[in-house]
Amino acid sequence: MRFLFKAVTALALLAPAGLGAQAPPDAPACRADLDGNRRTTTIEFSDGYAVEAPWTVHWTRAASLEDGSRGVAADASLDRIVEVEPGTGQRVVTPFPEPIQTTFEGRSEEELIYRAAQIWCLTVLRAQEQSAGGAQQPTSTPSRSSVGATG
């Protein structure tokens, strides 16, 4: 999973374009949940394979967004990923050598959570592309799935 760590590190610093793109029905499902100071972003593929990112949210604050509008921002860190194997549901934890720090932004907390899910999905798709030597292009953009705050 070294390739995923590198991809997460690189993409955590960038805001990907096309977050609102329409996805085909067989696209991976992206979701994010917020429970206290834990935000978990997940990408799940049609075969049941999933990759989860349990982010620790350090704080949320009012922020001025790139377009000048008011919104919210949350600093977060990620120190591991969890892969869920299809069929068995076995969870494989891969710790990172050091935590990744990033900031998520949105016009509202709901949009912030949605954007975090989309960024995670794009990160995993790009990491898979890199691990295949660039020969395999993602065939679809991630779809919006259940995005919600709990707790």
- Could you give the angle at the alpha carbon of 99 between the alpha carbons of 1 and 117, nearest 5°? 70
Contacts of 147 (CB under 8 A, 6+ apart): 30, 31, 32, 33, 110, 113, 114, 117
pLDDT in tens, the chain (151 residues): 444 544 444 444 344 434 444 455 678 999 999 888 899 999 999 999 999 999 999 877 888 888 889 999 999 999 999 999 999 999 999 999 999 999 999 999 899 999 999 999 999 999 988 888 754 434 444 443 334 444 4
Containing 10, the helix (H) or strand (E) segment is helix 2-12
Domain boundaries, the chain: 2-15+25-139
Q: For the chain, what is the radius of gyration of the CA atoms?
A: 15
